[in-house]
Amino acid sequence: MKLYKRGVFDKIERFIGDETIIVLHGARQVGKTHILFYLRDWLTEKGKKVFFYDLEYPNLLADLNRGVEFFLADLEGRGYEAPEEIYVLIDEIQYLDNPSSLLKIIADHHKNIHLIVSGSSSFDIKTKFTDSLAGRTIPFEIYPLSFEEYLTFKEVEYALPVVNPAAISRIKDLYYDFIKYGGYPKVVLEPLEEKKKGYLLQIIDTYIRKDVRDLAKVEDLDKFNRMLKVLSAQSGQILEMASLSRETGISLPTLQKYLSILEETYVIKRVFPFSRHPSVEISKNPKVFFFDSGLQSVLWLGEFQGAALGSVLETNFYGELVKRFGRQVIYFWRTKAHQEIDFVIQKENNQVLPIEVKTNFQQANHRTMKSFAKKYGVVDWKVVALEGEKKPPHDNYPWEI
């Protein structure tokens, strides 16, 4: 299996060799194991001694569940000689009965053993990790591939950004595919569309069975599935809880629980309004976004969307913003007079960056952007599109943000 470098590797590298436990978490099938394999090979090439544990193997899981003494004995059986410096990579750490105890003891009393672990979602991590690990871990959220990573996995010869018109045309075609199919690595690497869809359906099925039914203890899976389908049709729209409750037959308290599960398992995110003037700006109801446009399409339509229009385009770009800026700094803006901007990024030093997403640059409403800029003292804004005449300085292709 060929291993590709993910963008998050450069951030992880800064902490390799520290006493801190590196924790990778994200949705199922986003490539956490791939990153661990890449780290294993990278460390080995640097002459480090590396041990890999995949806890999906019952015998390994049973051994580690017996406690630290058995873990150390197993390492010695593999060639570990204390107190030499080693790296231990553990995949699917949440399967352990009490991972916090094992990790804490290793971190506190065996500082020569550097731990890098993965967990399938923050829901698993929150369920199994305790306060005893406070200050001992550094978390990294892993998402489906960014477009730049998508190009790497596709082994495209162009490096972003591109200026050659022929190259831009080729990159546009690839971006349309990226919108259509999304960024799950296995989906990206599969050439056949029918198999791509099958992989996404498999991801959804595994998610429902393992995360939702087994971990979150959701009993009415039919209603949960119905809610997923309704939300997939509403990605990028204002979330109306009362309407969603009526449409799905799920009570409001249960809906809140389900939405939290979806957020903690990296399927959706509620994006809240940016507002400093609540008398004239909407400041309460969030929008809902899926992290992956391919997954959204398959849930919504049962197929991939033929054209990159509307909510699928906006959903895709939201995912790109998350990978670029993080989940917690993205908002939208809407006034009671119906002015609206798709995304507002809260940057450092209280600065904000408004971004409007269109299929064509000529569709952008610069009047709304200028109104927002004047109100908030903003000197820059972005219009993101794939078609039409691109004019500096505000127009950008999605990969240029």
Report the CATH number that the domain containing residue 29 is assigned in CATH.
3.40.50.300
The CA radius of gyration of the chain, in Å to the nearest whole number, is: 23
- Whether residue 129 is found in the same domain as residue 191: no
Q: Does the residue 131 lie in any domain?
A: yes
Q: Are residues 314 and 350 both part of a single domain? A: yes
Domain-ending residue, one of 142, 164, 186: 142
Output 385-393 pairs: Cβ under 8 A, ≥24 positions apart: 385/357, 385/358, 385/359, 385/360, 385/361, 386/172, 386/175, 386/176, 386/308, 386/359, 386/360, 387/359, 387/360, 387/361, 388/360, 388/361, 388/362, 388/363, 389/361, 389/362, 390/361, 391/361
Examine residue 3 and state whether it is found in any structural domain, yes or no: no
Instruction: Rounding to the nearest 10 degrees, give the CA dihedral for residues 110, 111, 114, 120.
Output: 70
Mark which of 122, 142, 162 sits at the end of a domain.
Answer: 142
Same domain, 172 and 114: no
158 and 128 co-located in one domain: no
Whether 323 maps to a domain, the answer reads: yes
Identify whether residues 264 and 153 lie together within a single domain: yes
Calpha distance 90→53 (Å, rounded): 5
- Domain contains 1: no
Residue 182 near residue 41 (C-beta atoms within 8 A): no
Residue 135 CB partners (closer than 8 Å, separation 6+): none
Please work out, in degrees rounded to the nearest 5, the angle formed at the alpha carbon of residue 399 by the alpha carbons of 398 and 400. 90
Please check whether residues 189 and 138 belong to one and the same domain. Answer: no
155-209 pLDDT, tens digit per residue, is 998 878 777 888 999 999 999 999 999 999 999 999 999 999 999 999 999 888 7
- Do residues 123 and 170 share a domain? no
Q: Is the domain of 252 the same as that of 382?
A: yes
**What does DSSP say about strands 382-384 and 395-396: parallel, antiparallel, or unpaired?**
parallel
> What total of structural domains would you count in the chain?
2
Domain end call among 142, 158, 185: 142
pLDDT tens-place string over residues 34-66? 999 999 999 999 999 999 999 999 999 999 999
Same domain, 184 and 238: yes
pLDDT of residue 209: 77
Burial class for 151, CB neighbours closer than 10 Å (0-12, 13-18, 19+): buried
Our CA angle for 364, 391, 348, nearest 5°, is 75
Retrieve residue 184's tokens: 């799950």
Instruction: State the pairing for strand pair 113-119/21-26.
Output: parallel
User: Is 221 domain-assigned?
Assistant: yes
Same domain (yes/no): 193, 232: yes
Which of 305, 287, 182, 176 lies closest to 235, judged by CA?
287
Mean pLDDT by 10 residues, the chain (401 residues): 94 96 92 97 98 95 94 96 97 90 94 93 66 85 96 89 86 95 97 96 86 78 92 94 95 92 91 81 86 94 80 94 95 90 91 94 91 90 94 93 88
Question: Considering the domain boundaries, does residue 4 fall inside one?
Answer: no
Domain assignment present for 342: yes
Tokens describing residue 398: 């999605």
What phi, psi does 50 have (nearest 5°)? -125, 140
**CA dist., res. 106 & res. 19, Å (int):** 10
Q: Which domain holds residue 247?
A: 148-400
What is the identity of the amino acid at 335? T
Does 275 reside within a domain?
yes
In this structure, are 138 and 152 located in the same domain?
no
152 and 133 in a single domain? The answer is: no
